[in-house]
Structure 1
Amino acid sequence: MTAQIQKAAPKPEPTEGDAPDRREIRAVILGLMIVLGLGAIDQSIVATALPRIVSDLGGVTHLSWVVSAYVLASTSTMPLYGKLSDQYGRKPMIYAAILIFLLGSVLSGMAQTLLQLIIFRAIQGLGAGGLMPLAQIIIGDLVPPAKRGRNQGSIVAVFAVCSILGPIVGGIITDLLSWHWIFYVNLPIGAVALVMIGRALKRPHQARSRRIDYLGAVLLTACTTGFLLALALGGNEWAWNSPQIIGLATGALVLGILFVLHIRHEPEPVLPLDLFRNRLFVVACVVLALTFMGMLGATLFFPLFFQMVMGVSPSRSGLLTGPLMIGVVISSIVNGRVLLQRSGRYKPAQLFGLTLATVAFAVLAWAAATSQGFGIIEPSVFALGLGLGLVMPNMTIAVQNALPYAHRGVGTATLAFFRSLGGLIGVTGSGAILAYRVRQATGPSGSLDMSSLTESGLRQLATASPEAHAAAIALYRHAIAMTFATGTAIVAVALVVLLFLPELPLRTHHGDGAQPAR
């Protein structure tokens, strides 16, 4: 009878010191993968529907802000999510991030004007800013660093696959239903993620200081937003030396100085200065910022290069870009399941990855400048993905391994913030380089201008004389080759900085102040 009563008794709730079992870890990670897939697809699914959105809402001159508003909002809120998760726990913040994201999705689907859509996409981005960092933080709480490679690799793989599927899914939904449903489709997926995380993530949280640095949060968000707006608007809406851009940059600088002065005297700052006294953390932020600056700055022009210079169709250009993400997926999985788990070291794989990425970028720059074919270009694109897939998962593990539990959330989120910031700078810088080369080659009164980057421009070039067509191809070939060469230089600098990354032994348990997820 006693045995029957014990057997029927419900399983006790886990306590703070209990290690999570494999079943709990798998259930939580599955829910987090759905969340990550939601955020990754949403970044790319909208691009396919932009022409239909323009035809319905108009406002083509401000269309880019449908994407920019989302990216700016998500990037600027990443450190705040990390800090709040350290204070209030992971579970409440992942709930808040998902719910805000879903609210923005509903509002975006209901938008009647382009201005409404831009505002609602910014709301959606406010929630998206917590999805990737919080997923990495929760996994860091559940799985010790020495055993975390497989899980972090799976996260990168999911993000990469969903980024590939996004444009395909967006096209299908837009054609079969309408562009409104690319936002509504988030609702059932988000609901499933909420239920799975709510049922699986049962780690209790330790009571901590509930003091919130409201002033620091406002200063950090305003400084970041001003800087990102200057990057997004400079060279597009206004010239780089215009009063508007200078004013934005100056305002961001002043706010940044005020923020630093504030957190030096704040007992619970939103971004602790102790983080930047940790050499590993500083090196990691610089390496990831430079890596994504070079990668996004150059890979942004892969479709343009394939369509304009190589003469392939838009649909085929998407397939030709696929090897980049395939390489990221393969290396992320192999890194987590083989390299990191067997060696217990994160730095050798990163050194090899950045070396491979630097060589691949250099080959791409040479191939673009010298009119090489797909036999050289496609293996280089694949090798670039292989190299980059070894960097991000290992860097996240290295940072989480080096930081105490009290700073793990804000440290992981700040690392993600610098990664996104580097990518934004890379995209802006590469666009400026391309525009400069085009203007330099054609002159202010030239017959070719940046409108050639649009689909109508491509059609216009196709009907031009053979001499003009050949001149345009040569112009863009060398301009894009310069962006690849710039990417090579930036990733090479990241490789040099990586040499200074300390390699600490990976913990095999949640010691050194680490505690279970909360």
Structure 2
Amino acid sequence: MSTSSTVGFRSDRGPVLIALMLSTSLIALDSTILATAVPSIVDDLGGLGQFPWLFSVYLLAQAVSVPVYSKLADTVGRKPVILVGVGLFLVGSIMCGLAWDMTSLIVMRAVQGLGAGAVLPVTITIAGDIYTVAERAKAQGYLASVWATSSVVGPTLGGVFSQFVSWRWIFFVNIPLCLLAAAMLWRGYSESLERRTHRIDYAGSAVLTVSLTLLILAVLEGGQAWAWDSWQSIGSFAAGAVLVAVFVAIERRAAEPVLPFEVFSRRLIVATCLVSVGIGAVLVGLTSYVPTFLERTTGATPIVAGLAVAALTVGWPISASQSGRLYLRIGFSPTALIGLALAAVGSLGLWVASSVPSPWTAAAACFVVGLGLGLVATPTLIAAQASVAWHERAVVTGTNMFMRSVGSAVGVAIFGAIANAVIARQGGGTSAGAIQAGSSAVFLAVLVVAAVSIAAGLLMPHTRAEDVEQGAAVTDPETEPSTA
């Protein structure tokens, strides 16, 4: 590992950092650029009833593939896995741009999601490899800034391409980004692995993928595409649960399990995973309901409503980049608890202010939540990474990302059920009063999630950064690969 103490573009690791930011931008842009182009896509391809699958299938493919890619990154190395991910994302983007109907576009969005499932966790893992615990907060701040920029640039680009060029360019724009990211990773990032024979857990990987697909699909589509008590919903949950049990049995016998259960016997890993679930739920609650709440209750334009939510992604990288100073001084757990408290305060402010809707108060509350989450997401992830050896780091990182996806999926279902129930009590419809009542109930639920996340944060052991990293170094049975 490089010993340079500089984190930035001019350091010896600068080219790798730029490559990681480019790779992250692929996922960040794709998560925001599509929404504003949906009307143009439907006008061109048809399939109005199918368009929600453009988002669901992408999230599903990304979520279920993360654990498999993460294990592969710990087995064969980070570089080949992330290059495969960028390649899949490139192919998916090209084919999305060439789609001839909504069905083909949905299929290619799944390919994009499979690429994203490799890119997102491995970029964060590589940052954990090449930077020390003291440096990682600043490095994660750079990566978080990509999301902040994309939250503003993405919707704008989507609107510009749809209005003045073609919606197909929201996918074609990924081509130069993919090629540049792959080239910089190929040339700038190197790792030397201890060559030994690995026994890939094919059975475990296949069963895990199918089980997660069924369970996440049931959560995403329950109450939407089908009723919660329908045979599709019950069957998906039941089959998914059975396959989880089969997966556990397979993993107990596997020589190199795709999810080594001994990692999750550690209190720190379990606590950080629970916190990640809360982060995912809070994020989806705000990003899904704040824009509609502001548009229907204050008459705000989509751009103004979007900028109010963007305040969250502005606050996040600001606090994430500075979190290192806190966790090096007071430890990971106190830093995360401060962040969770801030997120709870921001959620409380949003709920209270929902009685008198205003884009300014909503933006201020989202900014505070963003500041809080930046002090939570980065320290908890870095604590988890630093507590394990190199050969477990990608699995732990991927699991952290996966649990955030689980939180988002479950949050979508719970918040949707709450909003629909409140709106139904208001007589149904889309009146400002009904939307305000439904959104206020969701914001209260977000506050409850933030409060429960504080309880999860209290489960984290109170350890200093150097203690966690030294413990991982002592237990590492392999030589950590050299990176440049």
Counterpart residue number, 2:157: 169
Alignment of 1:230 with 2:218, yes or no, is: yes
How far off is 1:355 after superposition? 0.4
Alignment of 1:90 with 2:78, yes or no, is: yes
Counterpart residue number, 2:30: 42
How far off is 1:377 after superposition? 3.3
Which residue among 346, 356, 362 is the counterpart of 1:360? 346
Alignment of 1:417 with 2:384, yes or no, is: no
Which residue among 234, 251, 276 is the counterpart of 1:246? 234
Contact 1:345 1:506 in 2 (8 A): yes
Structure 2 residue ranges without an equivalent (≥5) = none
Describe the shift of the 1:179–1:258 C-alpha distance in structure 2 as closer, same or farther (beyond 3 A): same
Q: Which runs of 4+ in 1 moved over 6 A?
A: none
Paired residues for 1:73-152 under 5 Å? 73-152=61-140
Contact 2:300 2:359 in 1 (8 A): no
How far off is 1:19 after superposition? 5.1
Counterpart residue number, 1:489: 448
Q: 1:502 corresponds to which letter in structure 2? A: P
What TM-score does the superposition give when structure 2 sets the normalisation length?
0.94
Q: 1:310 corresponds to which letter in structure 2? A: T
The 1-side partners of 2:390 and 2:84 are apart by 21
Alignment of 1:478 with 2:437, yes or no, is: yes
The 2-side partners of 1:330 and 1:154 are apart by 10
How far off is 1:372 after superposition? 5.1
Counterpart residue number, 1:462: none
The 2-side partners of 1:156 and 1:104 are apart by 24
Q: 1:411 corresponds to which letter in structure 2? A: V
The 2-side partners of 1:502 and 1:377 are apart by 34
Q: Deviations over 1:179-209 (max 9, x none)?
A: 1111111111111111111111122122244
The secondary structure found in structure 1 opposite 2:167 is coil
How far off is 1:366 after superposition? 1.7
Counterpart residue number, 1:347: 333
Counterpart residue number, 2:176: 188
The secondary structure found in structure 1 opposite 2:473 is coil
Instruction: Report the identity percentage.
Output: 34
How far off is 1:321 after superposition? 2.3
Paired residues for 1:217-296 under 5 Å? 217-296=205-284
The 2-side partners of 1:515 and 1:109 are apart by 41
Counterpart residue number, 1:12: none
Structure 1 residue ranges without an equivalent (≥5) = 1-16, 443-447, 453-471
Contact 1:226 1:252 in 2 (8 A): yes
The 2-side partners of 1:343 and 1:398 are apart by 14
Q: Deviations over 1:15-72 (max 9, x none)?
A: xx77578643221111000000111101111111110000011010111101111111
Contact 1:38 1:190 in 2 (8 A): yes
Counterpart residue number, 2:480: 515
The secondary structure found in structure 1 opposite 2:207 is helix
Q: Deviations over 1:121-171 (max 9, x none)?
A: 001100001111101111111112232211112212222322332111111
Describe the shift of the 1:207–1:321 C-alpha distance in structure 2 as closer, same or farther (beyond 3 A): same
How far off is 1:285 after superposition? 0.4
Contact 1:145 1:506 in 2 (8 A): yes
How far off is 1:375 after superposition? 5.4
Contact 1:46 1:167 in 2 (8 A): yes
How far off is 1:381 after superposition? 2.0
378-387 vs 492-501, which moves further: 378-387
The 2-side partners of 1:82 and 1:503 are apart by 27
Paired residues for 1:389-404 under 5 Å? 389-404=374-389
What TM-score does the superposition give when structure 1 sets the normalisation length?
0.88
**Aligned-pair Cα RMSD in Å:** 1.8
The secondary structure found in structure 2 opposite 1:389 is helix
Alignment of 1:500 with 2:459, yes or no, is: yes
Contact 1:156 1:393 in 2 (8 A): no
The 1-side partners of 2:459 and 2:366 are apart by 28
Counterpart residue number, 1:29: 17
Counterpart residue number, 1:197: 185
Describe the shift of the 1:438–1:76 C-alpha distance in structure 2 as closer, same or farther (beyond 3 A): same
How far off is 1:506 after superposition? 2.3
The 1-side partners of 2:221 and 2:464 are apart by 44
How far off is 1:373 after superposition? 4.0
